[in-house]
Structure 1
Amino acid sequence: MHDTPAYVAETSGIVVRVRPSFLAGQSAPEDGRWVWAYQIEIENRGDRPVQLIARRWLITDALGRVEEVRGPGVVGEQPVIQPGDRYAYASGCPLTTPSGSMVGGYTMTDEAGHTFEAEIPAFSLDVPGARRVLN
């Protein structure tokens, strides 16, 4: 992960860190397309293994339009994260506005079959140097 500050949330010993970055080379503002990458790190500070079963995202653009995305696992995986271990992945999000925000949760289960949602912290998607808009 890089040196930008992370957005962080902790739920039941599961720490989720997010670092978004604007992808100028993949964006085309003249065509109404802005693209961000985000790096996620999930740390298990608990005392039992957990498996990430599903994800849920709410993506909001600068005009207040909300898109909900749900699906199994992340990037084609449903990783098991042992106590003290971390799992990291990267993904991306295109928007039709120059700013927005994302928030969500991961459905996790432990070896006893207990299921809970680990919070993904809300994070802002802003073009560097642009006037910030509260999303």
Structure 2
Amino acid sequence: MYKETTRSITITVVPTYLDDQSSPEDSHYVWKYRVRIENNGADTVQLRNRYWRITDSMGRVQEVRGPGVVGEQPILKPGKYYEYTSGTPLPTPSGIMVGTYQMETEHGEKFDVRVPAFSLDSPYQPVKLH
């Protein structure tokens, strides 16, 4: 589990490798990740946009930007939370994701909330001992 708080908004991410959707012989590895967004602040906020930076184990980077998450722009009142599950494929058996969510207060103030960097690990990643 990975967790980070920015301006009283706590993001928790739990990634899971999906063996049944992956095909290592074809260099296709798939993960799902569950995200919980908690509003521990005093203001109601709405998630407007997302940004992801996905890096595979060869150092190749893919950036993803767009409105909301899983087709929604959830509104979070103080003390409330929103959860969703999404996924990502990679051509390598491991990688890392990090990102931000752009939030907006009822008064129109926009700010970025950090999504903690989280590791995408599969059982096919060779372990190297130095």
One fold, TM greater than 0.5?
A: yes
Q: Give CA deviations for 1:56-78 in whole Å, capped at 9, x if unaligned.
A: 00000000000100000000000
In the alignment, what sits opposite 1:98? 93
Task: Report the 3-state secondary structure (helix = DSSP H, G, I; strand = E; otherwise coil) of the residue aligned with 2:20.
Answer: helix
1:30-109 → structure 2 map (5 Å cutoff): 30-109=25-104
- Give the gaps of 5 or more residues in structure 1: 1-5
Gaps of 5+ in 2: none
Equivalent position SS for 1:25: helix
Q: How many residues align?
A: 128
8 Å Cα contact 1:42-1:86 kept in structure 2: yes
- For normalisation by structure 2, the TM-score amounts to 0.95
In structure 2, C-alpha distance between the alignment counterparts of 1:132 and 1:93, rounded to whole Å: 22
The share of aligned pairs that are identical, in percent, is: 53
Query: CA RMSD of the aligned region, Å?
Result: 1.2
Residues 53-102 of structure 1: CA distance to partner in whole angstroms, max 9, x if unpaired? Answer: 00000000000000100000000000001100010000000000000000
Q: Is the 8 A contact 2:94 2:125 kept in 1?
A: no
The answer (yes or no) to whether the contact 1:46–1:84 under 8 Å persists in 2 is yes
**C-alpha contact (below 8 Å) 2:24/2:124 kept by paired residues:** no
Paired residue for 1:24? 19
Q: Give the deviation of 1:129 after TM superposition.
A: 7.0
Partner of 1:12: 7
Deviations, residues 16-58 of structure 1 (Å, cap 9, x unaligned)? 0000000000000011100000000000000010000000000
